[in-house]
Amino acid sequence: MKQIRQLLRVSGVVLGAMALGFVLALVFVPQLTGNIANAIENVPPPDIATSNLLSEQERIFGEIYDTVSPSVVSITISEQASPDAPFEPVSIGSGFVVDTQGHIITNYHVVAREGRIEIAMYDGTIALAQVVGEDPTSDLAVLQVQNVPVDRLHPVAFANSDDLQVGETVLALGNPFQNEWTLTNGIISALNRRIFGLNRNSIGGVIQTDAAINPGNSGGPLLNLHGEVIGVNSQINSESRSNSGVGFAIPSNLVRKVATSLIETGTIEYSFIGIGHQNMSLDLISDFNLPNNIRGVVVDFVQRGAPADIAGLQSMTDTSVDVITAINGQPVSNFDVLIGYLYINTNPGDTITLTVYRNGQVLELPVTVVSR
């Protein structure tokens, strides 16, 4: 019994101590919590100097977004499994208004599947559109939105893509992954790239950019810091079908040419000279005793009866090779540059001058181009 009384006395002391601790916690914890909260609220911002350039860049980006967003549209192509079934989206992309008649430029691959074409605008307007013309080669298409008042149509301004330089800051505006009116930025990583359309024909003069371009951006504008369209975002080089920092945009000068022709005639014709080509290589330089700094298009073969054949270009032999080094006085470093110039700056029936290096001689050959 004596041991039990001792145990009870010890337990009472312990319980009393616990109670006292609980009371002290009630008294001091709120004060401690309040001190922490005050400290959090009063933490000064980091002492990081924001440059004037950065704040100016942010202002410009914001102004461009506010100015150009009303011109950019979201495009949804929908199909019905049966006449009574609801419409289900099968293709989603972007586009932009180019005139007050409601014409919209987008990518051909966005609207390649037949279906209902729904246009959503920045102000909340939703309307139907129809295809005016398509060009699988350039991957461009022109739509016309229906029943939208003129005051809701805000055409974009175009820049001259011939004036672009590698390193320029650019902005992509579109609807990646259905996240409408998303702005991303980057630079022009390279110029005069070549891409292939859905018909496997290729175009040159293409802009490469590291601005984030993802599914849904297709058909949206690539912009300079004046808010002008310098290209139409079209493709990405990625194994995952998402941005990898290598995107491609169709240059604005080609876009304007194709769109104008599609609106006026519903079709577009490209110039053709009729050659096959190879890339310059060390073996070719060695085999044909070419200057090791020569740049141009190595003519592999010439199609019989084609404009190049009529003009006097020659297919490669064991002892001779033609290298096209310029077109109308403009240097040509590779085939991408050549077809870019032909498609953007010439029309079937035009006569161009090709500068050709052959066996140590420089020739100037006039070529009358035809429709491809």
Q: For the residues of 332-372, what is the DSSP string, one character each? A: --SHHHHHHHHHHH--TT-EEEEEEEETTEEEEEEEE-EE-
Adjacent-strand bridge partners of 356: 324, 363
One-letter amino acid of 123: D
Helix (H, G, I), strand (E, B) or coil at 232: strand
Q: Average per-residue pLDDT in the chain? A: 87
203 close to 132: Cβ distance less than 8 angstroms: no
pLDDT attached to residue 18: 46
What are 94's two structure tokens?
A: 């972007």
pLDDT attached to residue 153: 97
Fold of domain 271-371: Pdz3 Domain (2.30.42)
What is the distance between the alpha carbons of residues 193 and 197, in angstroms, rounded to a whole number?
Answer: 13
Does position 45 have pLDDT exceeding 70, yes or no? no
SS3 sequence of the chain: CHHHHHHHHHHHHHHHHHHHHHHHHHHHHHHHHHHHHHHHHCCCCCCCCCCHHHHHHHHHHHHHHHHHHHHEEEEEEEEECCCCCCEEEEEEEEEEECCCCCEEEEEHHHHCCCCEEEEEECCCCEEEEEEEEEECCCCEEEEEECCCCHHHCCCCCECCHHHCCCCCEEEEEECHHHCCCEEEEEEEEEEEEEEECCCCCEEEEEEEECCCCCCCCCCCEEECCCCCEEEEEEEECCCCCCCCCCEEEEEHHHHHHHHHHHHHHCCCCCEECCEEEECCCHHHHHHCCCCCCCCCEEEEEECCCCHHHHHCCCCCCCCCCEEEEEECCEECCCHHHHHHHHHHHCCCCCEEEEEEEECCEEEEEEEECEEC
What is the distance between the alpha carbons of residues 58 and 65, in angstroms, rounded to a whole number?
Answer: 11
Q: How many beta carbons lie within 10 A of that of residue 314, not counting itself?
A: 15
Residue among 117, 218, 224 nearest 176 (CA)? 218
Percentage of the chain exceeding pLDDT 70: 83
Residue 26 banded pLDDT, cuts 50, 70, 90 = very low
pLDDT attached to residue 51: 56
Q: Quick one: average pLDDT of 278-299?
A: 94
**Where do the domains of the chain lie?**
67-152, 161-265, 271-371
pLDDT attached to residue 188: 97
315 close to 302: Cβ distance less than 8 angstroms: yes
Percentage of the chain exceeding pLDDT 90: 72
The more confidently predicted of residues 321 and 245 is 321
Q: Which residues are catalytic?
A: 109, 139, 218
The more confidently predicted of residues 116 and 48 is 116
Helix (H, G, I), strand (E, B) or coil at 253: helix
Q: Quick one: average pLDDT of 19-28?
A: 43
Q: Which of 15-19, 127-131, 238-242 has the lowest mean pLDDT?
A: 15-19
One-letter amino acid of 156: V
Strands 87-97 and 103-107: antiparallel
Does position 99 have pLDDT exceeding 90, yes or no? yes
What is the distance between the alpha carbons of residues 163 and 160, in angstroms, rounded to a whole number?
Answer: 6
pLDDT attached to residue 208: 96
Q: Which CATH class is domain 161-265?
A: mainly beta
Does position 130 have pLDDT exceeding 80, yes or no? yes
Does position 88 have pLDDT exceeding 70, yes or no? yes
Give the global pTM. 0.82
Q: Which CATH class is domain 67-152?
A: mainly beta
Same topology between domain 67-152 and domain 161-265 = yes
104 close to 126: Cβ distance less than 8 angstroms: no
Residues 6+ apart with CB under 8 A from 269: 261, 347, 348, 371, 372
pLDDT attached to residue 142: 98
Q: Quick one: average pLDDT of 328-335?
A: 94
pLDDT attached to residue 4: 42
Q: Quick one: average pLDDT of 5-30?
A: 44
Adjacent-strand bridge partners of 258: none
pLDDT attached to residue 80: 86
